[in-house]
Structure formats: C-alpha cells, structure tokens
Amino acid sequence: MKLALAFAAALALLGCEKKKAAPATPSAPTATTPPPAGAVPAAPVPVEASPDGLKLGSQAPKVGEVRTEREEQLTNLKVDAGGKTIEIVGSERKVERQEVVAATGDVVDKLKLTFVEFDKQEKIGGKDRPAKASVAGKTSLVWREGKQLKATTEAGAAVPDEEVKEVVGSSRGVGRP
C-alpha cells in the first residue's frame, strides 16, 4: 500500500508541468490628486550614486525658511546596582519650530528656535524626579562663534542656565555645513 501511494505521488509530480508565467501587462496609468491651489512645488532634492549606495543631497537653507521638528522618547530601564534593582521610567515630548534668520551657502548662521511644546517626566525607583525649568513656549536666537554655540532670548537677554542644555542640544548644526 505504501509503495502504491509513493508511486502515485511520483507520477503526480512527474505529470505536473511547470508553465511559464505570462509576461506582466503594464497597468493603466492612475490619476493623481493635484496639489492644492497656490501650492508651490518643492524643488527636487538631488540624488547621486555612490559606492555605498545612494547619497541624498540637500538644499541650501534660505532666510525665513521654517521647519517644525517633533520628537518623542520613552524610557523604561531596570538597573541592577549592588544587588538592588532600580527601575527608571521616563518620557519626553517636544515640538520645535526652527526659523532660519541668517544663512551663507549651505550653512545656517543664525537660527530662531521656539519650543512650541516641551514635556519631560521621569520616575526613578517609583519616585517622581523633580522637573527642571521648562523651555515650553520660549524662543531663543542661536549662532556659532568659533567652535562655541551662543544663545540669547528673543529679547536679547541671556538664556537661563537651566535652559541652555536644551537650546544647544537642538541647535548643534548651526554654523556647520
């Protein structure tokens, strides 16, 4: 019986003929939604081939150009220290508005940075860690002198020490190609 089943399976496999697939027919063109009235199409970003793959180019920044960045980070760590496990849970959400105030070639020389939203929370071992001063709703002007970033408030006053880290961290590309 087993021999008969094996023989029938072999005949079935031999009897199956592989058929060549028909060539794919090109699909009919599809309609695209036109851009809204008054919309200015963005210039294409140059792409060039390189030995490592494709290299995307960039466009030179223009004075008055505005970009909005959104960032959200969630942290959930367990740290073993001296036989004791400490859990660290945190979240950070920020929305930044960056406006080019001055530019030369491919370099943003001066940036107007507004923290539209900024919320940072952290618990260590189940206890809330006090939040530092928030930069939410605040605007700074940032530029580079030599290797160092400088920042003032929009009114020209010094940025408070507790806010400098966030302002500098969000502006590292200022003054660099």
DSSP per-residue codes, 100-158? EEEEETTEEEEEEEEEEEEEEEEEETTEEPPPPPP-TT-EEEEEEETTEEEEEETTSPB
- Per-residue pLDDT reduced to its tens digit, 8-18: 444 444 444 44
In the structure, what pLDDT confidence band is assigned to residue 21 with cuts at 50, 70 and 90? very low
What is the model's pTM?
0.63
The CATH number that applies at residue 105 is 2.30.230.10
Q: How many domains does the chain have?
A: 1
- Per-residue pLDDT reduced to its tens digit, 105-129: 999 999 999 999 999 999 999 999 8
Q: Is residue 24 in some structural domain?
A: no
Q: Is residue 56 in some structural domain?
A: no
Reported as type and span, the H/E element at residue 79 is strand 66-81
> 10 Å Cβ neighbour count for 142?
23
* Domain coverage including residue 160: 62-169
Q: Is residue 135 in some structural domain?
A: yes
Q: Is residue 160 in some structural domain?
A: yes
Lowest mean pLDDT among 22-26, 51-55, 57-61, 124-128: 22-26
Q: Give the N- to C-terminal CA distance of the chain in Å, as an integer.
A: 78
Tell me which residue has tokens 């199956």: 16
